[in-house]
Structure 1
Amino acid sequence: MNGNETNGDGREPHGTGRAIVVHPVLRTAVDGARSPESCLDEAVGLAAAIELEVVHAECVRVNRPQPSTLLGSGTVEHLAQLVEESEATLLVVDHALSPVQQRNLEKGVKAKVIDRTGLILEIFGARARTREGQLQVELAALTYQRSRLVRSWTHLERQRGGFGFLGGPGESQLELDRRLIGDRIIKIKKELEEVRRTRGLHRKARAKVPYPVVALVGYTNAGKSTLFNRLSNASVFAKDLLFATLDPTMRQVTLPSGRKVILSDTVGFISDLPHHLVEAFRATLEEVDGADIILHVRDISHEDTDAQRDDVNDVLRDIGIDPEVDDRVVEVLNKIDRLDEEARDAVIAQTRRDPRKVAVSAATGAGIDDLDALLDGRMNAGRQVVDLAIDLGNGAALAWLYDRGEVLDRRDDEHQAHLHVALDPADIARFEKRFLQA
């Protein structure tokens, strides 16, 4: 954020403290797709997303994970010294910690400790704007907190607008027991069930219109919101920042052929996304499952682009979409403007061999015409061309055809308009029932 931005409620944002970020490199780690340095950079980016001042970051080797602290005793002593010297108030461990490990590390380094899951939840809390998003974050946070029952994180200021795990400076500390947390979780789930039903009604309403849905998915910071703005001429918040947007956004978009679609931007995915967080956002992710086309936006310039693709595909599989066999999924290879000429030519050549891939730069607009053509081709693939003669006085029927179909040719005589129209088979049936039978 720059100095002129606020939290959306008119108040200036507040920093959340000095932090040390560490990425444990476990000898037993099986995921060799990412370098430790890349993982550390992402963790620093996550911390920066909630305005933590990262005063030190490093990868630490863990030959034998300790049940009590995860990290070795020598590493804990080293981190305690760094905390004291840098006057840091927070240690971010880019790994899952058990409640016991978290508490023991706090005692060892004499600072607040949060793990990767807690950091992601805090970011989500800071980004949620709609009632649904806030409920989903609270559900995930309470599920995470239920096994810990530690007091609120006092280094996170409620004034900043983040979730803050139910507390902050100047507020009473909420000592929630399992029963109270359980009761709140039940209540939130009921409210989210209402959201799910409402979404179902909206989908049914769209099916009657009907406008096909194009959903954008992708790794966080892959450029989904920038692409959304480019395609829809909208002004959704887009910034080079992890989880810049959280709540799903929808806009009506008219393709070059005149076909109207609903474009849906969703929350970004990330590696090691906690399972209960995926569960909490299932109501939102159902929008993806119900989409007619799923655009998987990838940052093709990122060194870990293949690993990021695999992470997104794993989440898609969690909600019942197999990208390998589901023909709805199209890979949008974004940020080609960041590649050198040779690499860019190679990516473009790759997309020409694969009809399920397209290369674009959402920032510069390069390749957007190809993406529009792909969407048009997909949307019009099952259309039939019919010849219709409509009375010139039947303005409703003519308007309906122009709105739902693609008028390829029109000739008017004294009494009728003779149209050559491309329509979906379902729309042909609707037109006959609504106008011809009448």
Structure 2
Amino acid sequence: MVDLSDFNVQAILVHTFSYKKKEDENFNLQEFLSLASTAGMKILDVITNNYKTCNAKYFIGIGKVLELEQIIKNNFVSVVLFNCILSPHQERNLTSLLQCSIIDRNQLILNIFARRARTYEGKLQVKLAQLRHLNSRLVHEWSHLERQKGGIGLRGGSGEMQLESDRRLLRKEILQVLLRLKKIENQREQSRRHRFRIGIPTVSLVGYTNAGKSTLFNAMTASHVYVEEKLFSTLDPTCRRIMYKGAHNIILVDTVGFIQNLPRGLISSFKATLQETIQSTLLLHVVDVANERFEKNINTVHYVLNSMNIRNIPMLLVMNKIDQLKKMVPRIDRDNDGYPVRVWISAQNDLGIFLLTQVINELLSNDMISYELRMPINSDLCQQLYRSQIVKEYWVEDHNYIRLKIYVSSVDWNRLLKNNKLLTDYIV
């Protein structure tokens, strides 16, 4: 894995495309340039190459390879970025010929993830993806560990080579990382079971990278999660419990953003983290409506979710960044049956957040029940109900009694009955 810890590394970018729509190719190139900028790369030149079939040896044609070699010599460049996925064979051939570091799209994203990881779990997941990537690119560089070869009068054959030793060590390290991630996954599973028992639903934010998920997370939870106008600014998942007056308490989860051609190794490595999304009660699909390609970005997110077998979880489209559109105000779009399908907001300017919370409570209110209670105004139980934030309305009858209208989930109501046997006596 190439060390990209230093910012402003000078590089040449090779962009390959195959006779697609021009706007698609321009977006693909601009997105890769954003990835390079996020990784701290300074692009000196961009070489484009159109192809019908890729070259088996170098991916690009030999003419482009020779042109690239001359540019590298003139600019003293040590890194070449390829906006494609190179095979281990092609990467070795290009490295040998050009005498510089070759980084394809997968490896660049891995380096960005390695830089963004902050928590112990995130670092383990990135390390697992890097080890799996490296394992496919080991080559036989030397043979000084070879033992005596077989021959006439000799028993056995060739001993362990350096390549075999490296692979054995890599497999051992991968296994150790998997065992550590398994412990974390078990801990997460216990937390999910606990939330399920007490009836707290989980709402996950998903969407294309840089759509504003972390900004919305901060607006809904009054948190200070790191936000930056760059791709993959959030990597490690963050969970917060939200307590709404007179409505559901929920666990809101901020997850990593998706992107076109997201490496499969990353999806499998982040299985424990994405399990929170798989087990969610509701998905909030955050969309950057100021992006001209937002519809295609929606399709990309749906494709990634389907590849993770996430198909039967209710999803609400959250159309974000309406402040960048003319004459657009917060609103709720519903289908013919009155079911909410889209909410238009601006998380940055706190526009429409109330509408979003209203729709979330509506979608999660299938098991909500309402009771009217009459009890002593100074009782401990009355104070407890207020602290639980489930009181929707109240009326003071006289100086001694008060009427409360509570709105609570069936699970929370059963828990209240378990702790307060006389609660049913106060029901009007």
Is TM more than 0.5 here?
Answer: yes
Deviation string for 1:222-261 (max 9, x for gaps)? Answer: 1111111122222111111001110011223344656432
| 1:148 corresponding residue in structure 2 | 137
Q: 2:78 aligns with which of 86, 89, 94?
A: 89
Q: 1:18 aligns with which of 6, 10, 13?
A: 10
1:422 equivalenced with 2:378 (yes/no): no
1:434 equivalenced with 2:419 (yes/no): yes
CA contact (8 A) 1:258 1:406 kept: no
Report the Cα distance in structure 1 between the residues aligned to 2:83 and 2:281, rounded to whole angstroms.
Answer: 36
Report the Cα distance in structure 2 between the residues aligned to 1:122 and 1:266, rounded to whole angstroms.
Answer: 18
Q: CA RMSD in A?
A: 2.7
Equivalent residue letter for 1:23: H
Structure 1 unpaired stretches of 5+ = 1-12, 152-173
Report the Cα distance in structure 1 between the residues aligned to 2:349 and 2:232, rounded to whole angstroms.
Answer: 21
Structure 2 unpaired stretches of 5+ = 141-162, 424-428
Report the Cα distance in structure 2 between the residues aligned to 1:265 and 1:122, rounded to whole angstroms.
Answer: 21
Report the Cα distance in structure 2 between the residues aligned to 1:104 and 1:340, rounded to whole angstroms.
Answer: 52
**1:125 aligned counterpart, secondary structure:** helix
TM-aligned CA deviation for residue 357 of structure 1: 1.0
Report the Cα distance in structure 1 between the residues aligned to 2:378 and 2:233, rounded to whole angstroms.
Answer: 51
Report the Cα distance in structure 2 between the residues aligned to 1:272 and 1:434, rounded to whole angstroms.
Answer: 52
Deviation string for 1:373-420 (max 9, x for gaps)? Answer: 212322334311112334556414641465162433344556554322
| 1:395 corresponding residue in structure 2 | 380
| 1:265 corresponding residue in structure 2 | 254
1:110-129 equivalences under 5 Å are 110-129=99-118
Q: 1:329 aligns with which of 315, 319, 340?
A: 315
| 2:369 corresponding residue in structure 1 | 384
**Bigger radius of gyration:** 2
Report the Cα distance in structure 1 between the residues aligned to 2:281 and 2:217, rounded to whole angstroms.
Answer: 16
Question: In the superposition, relative to structure 1, how do residues 349 and 250 fare at CA in structure 2: closer, same or farther (>3 Å)?
Answer: closer
TM-aligned CA deviation for residue 289 of structure 1: 1.7
TM-aligned CA deviation for residue 208 of structure 1: 4.4
Deviation string for 1:182-205 (max 9, x for gaps)? Answer: 111111111111101111122233
CA contact (8 A) 2:199 2:411 kept: no
1:4-153 equivalences under 5 Å are 14-15=6-7, 17-27=9-19, 35-149=24-138
Report the Cα distance in structure 1 between the residues aligned to 2:139 and 2:233, rounded to whole angstroms.
Answer: 28
Report the Cα distance in structure 2 between the residues aligned to 1:260 and 1:33, rounded to whole angstroms.
Answer: 47
Q: 1:184 aligns with which of 160, 173, 176?
A: 173
1:206-355 equivalences under 5 Å are 206-255=195-244, 257=246, 259-322=248-311, 326=313, 328-341=314-327, 344=328, 351=333, 355=340
Question: In the superposition, relative to structure 1, how do residues 206 and 112 fare at CA in structure 2: closer, same or farther (>3 Å)?
Answer: same
**2:239 aligned counterpart, secondary structure:** strand
1:372 equivalenced with 2:357 (yes/no): yes
Answer with 277-286 or 383-392: which moved more.
Answer: 383-392
CA contact (8 A) 1:404 1:423 kept: no
Q: TM-score, normalised by structure 1?
A: 0.82
Question: In the superposition, relative to structure 1, how do residues 422 and 90 fare at CA in structure 2: closer, same or farther (>3 Å)?
Answer: same
Report the Cα distance in structure 2 between the residues aligned to 1:42 and 1:292, rounded to whole angstroms.
Answer: 32
Equivalent residue letter for 1:313: H
Report the Cα distance in structure 2 between the residues aligned to 1:54 and 1:83, rounded to whole angstroms.
Answer: 12
1:194 equivalenced with 2:195 (yes/no): no
CA contact (8 A) 1:196 1:283 kept: yes
**2:340 aligned counterpart, secondary structure:** coil
Q: TM-score, normalised by structure 2?
A: 0.84
- Report how many aligned residue pairs link the two structures: 394
TM-aligned CA deviation for residue 64 of structure 1: 2.2
CA contact (8 A) 1:46 1:119 kept: yes
Report the Cα distance in structure 1 between the residues aligned to 2:219 and 2:331, rounded to whole angstroms.
Answer: 23
**1:426 aligned counterpart, secondary structure:** helix
